[in-house]
């Protein structure tokens, strides 16, 4: 029952692993593109798969509102509904609901909130979140938790983390275990080491298929985040996958892999595709910038995505200046390709004992910046 995780190789704190689910294997370190509303925005699922992505993240909050978990279940589950037959991880809905300031009311039992779409009242508890994620047929279910803002006082973080741990127990109890499906606990504790420790111990006592590091990348900055990541992953079981939620930029991911994290998700590559921001080997590029107007070169030399294979910078610049949907489609595709290529690079480097060189080269290239000369 549950999920299998096998670690094939280690390099420092970094690990090369395989997470085995009912819908296939996820090679780690892995990046999960975000498919909020049962679609990775502006991407066909086969195109997402073509980038090398092996797992998607779905948002329980959005899906419970539209189209609703009952409907997704009726349609055969999220995989079938959205035509994605590889693994899916769903968050618990907690993070989005907690962000609905003014529209939600939190109690020990759970949280009452109103939909941002039409104001309908909903109730979300650990048990309810498990039920919804079960109906979605998610391969990896996340515990319902509360995430404190940054900065928060020690007492606020301690109180919140302890409730999240009680919710973790209730989540685990309500989760229906099946072969190839699993549930992840979520470590909280904000930037306080002893709270992170207390949280990790509570989660280990319950026992999960994997462990997420929650409550980071919420405004504390990369330096502070890395400080926490210097110790937090090591508090979690060595033999289970570790997932840093909502992270991040390419250099966040590289730094987190070096610190022992195995899984990531972030809207960055998809959202940036809609706001004309490209990720490349030589750092970010804004394709609306006038310097690309007459540039016949590909966006990123050596990238095998359709944008870089068949079009010029002049063309993607033109599409974004004209607000053409194809501009969003191609740039999103490129950005996810970039992220998945980065993860493949990290995996290969761990495998071949060249992680140090790989990371040094990564930072050197990013520091170079996009080459201006044509």
User: Based on CB atoms, which residue is closest to a copy of itself, 25 or 314?
Assistant: 314
Q: CB of 121: closest distance to a copy of itself in angstroms?
A: 20
Nearest of 169, 170, 95 to residue 125 by alpha carbon:
170
317 or 341: whose CB is closer to a copy of itself?
317
Tell me the catalytic residues.
Answer: 91, 265
Phi, psi of 336 (to 5 degrees): -65, -40
DSSP, res 83? T
Task: Tell me 299's DSSP state.
Answer: S
Q: Which of 56, 57, 118 is nearest to 93 (CA)?
A: 57
Provide the minimum distance between the beta carbon of 129 and a copy of itself in the complex, in angstroms, as a whole number.
21
Q: Which string of x and - marks every residue 246-285 that binds a copy of itself (by CB under 8 A)?
A: ----------------------------------------
Site string for a copy of itself, 49-88 (x = CB under 8 A): -----------------xx---x--xx-----xxx-----
Between residue 280 and residue 319, which ones bind a copy of itself under the rule CB under 8 A?
A: 293-294, 296, 306, 310-312, 314-315, 317-319
The position carrying tokens 């995989």 is 79
Rg of the chain in Å (alpha carbons): 20
Looking at beta carbons only, is 35 or 210 nearer to a copy of itself? 35
Residue 65 vs 256, nearer CB to a copy of itself = 65
- Residue pair 231/193 in contact (Cβ under 8 Å)? The answer is yes
Number of residues this chain uses to bind a copy of itself (CB under 8 A): 36
- How buried is 132 (Cβ within 10 angstroms: 0-12 exposed, 13-18 middle, 19+ buried)? buried
Q: Could you give phi then psi for residue 222, rounded to 5 degrees?
A: -65, -40
Binding string to a copy of itself for residues 316 to 345, with x set by CB under 8 A, is what?
-xxx-xx-xxxxxx----------------
Binding to a copy of itself in span 31-50, by CB under 8 A: 37-44
70 cis-preceded (ω within 30 degrees of 0): no
Q: Of 216 and 329, which CB lies nearer to a copy of itself in the complex structure?
A: 329
Inter-axis angle of helices 325-351 and 313-321, to 10 degrees?
130
3-class secondary structure per residue, 219-250? CCHHHHHHHHHCCCHHHCCCCCCEEECCCCCH
Minimum CB separation from a copy of itself for residue 65, in Å?
Answer: 9
The residues that touch a copy of itself, with contacts defined as CB under 8 A, are 37-44, 66-67, 71, 74-75, 81-83, 293-294, 296, 306, 310-312, 314-315, 317-319, 321-322, 324-329
């Amino acid at each position: 029952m549950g999920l299998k995780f096998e670690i094939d190789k280690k390099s420092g704190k970094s690990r090369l692993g395989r997470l085995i689910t009912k819908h296939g294997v996820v090679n780690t370190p892995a990046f999960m593109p975000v498919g909020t509303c049962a679609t990775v925005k502006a991407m066909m699922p086969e195109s997402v798969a073509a980038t090398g992505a092996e797992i998607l993240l779905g948002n329980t909050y959005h899906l419970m509102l539209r189209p609703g978990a009952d409907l997704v279940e009726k349609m055969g589950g999220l995989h079938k509904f959205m035509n994605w037959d590889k693994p899916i991880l769903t968050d618990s809905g907690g993070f989005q609901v907690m962000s609905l300031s003014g529209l939600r009311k939190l109690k020990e039992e759970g949280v009452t909130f109103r939909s941002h779409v039409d104001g309908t009242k909903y109730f979300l508890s650990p048990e309810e979140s498990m039920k919804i994620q079960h109906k979605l047929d998610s391969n990896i279910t996340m515990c319902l938790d509360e995430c404190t803002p940054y900065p928060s006082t020690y007492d606020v973080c301690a109180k919140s983390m302890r409730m999240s741990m009680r919710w973790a127990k209730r989540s685990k109890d309500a989760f229906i275990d099946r072969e190839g499906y699993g549930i992840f606990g979520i470590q909280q504790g904000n930037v306080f080491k002893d709270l992170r420790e207390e949280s990790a111990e509570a989660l280990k006592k319950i026992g999960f298929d994997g462990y997420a590091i929650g409550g980071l990348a919420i405004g504390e900055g990369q330096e502070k985040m890395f400080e926490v990541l210097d110790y937090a992953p090591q508090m979690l079981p060595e033999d289970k996958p570790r997932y840093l939620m909502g992270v991040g930029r390419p250099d966040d991911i590289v730094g987190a892999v070096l610190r022992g994290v195995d899984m990531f998700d972030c809207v960055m590559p998809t959202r940036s595709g809609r706001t004309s921001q490209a990720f490349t080997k030589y750092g970010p590029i804004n394709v609306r910038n006038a310097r690309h107007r007459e540039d016949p070169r590909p966006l990123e030399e050596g990238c095998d995505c359709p944008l870089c294979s068949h079009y010029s910078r002049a063309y993607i610049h033109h599409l974004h200046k004209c607000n053409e949907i194809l501009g969003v489609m191609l740039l999103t595709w490129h950005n996810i390709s970039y992220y998945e290529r980065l993860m493949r690079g990290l995996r290969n480097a761990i495998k071949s004992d060249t992680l140090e060189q790989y990371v040094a080269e990564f930072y050197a290239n990013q520091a170079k910046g996009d080459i201006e000369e044509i």
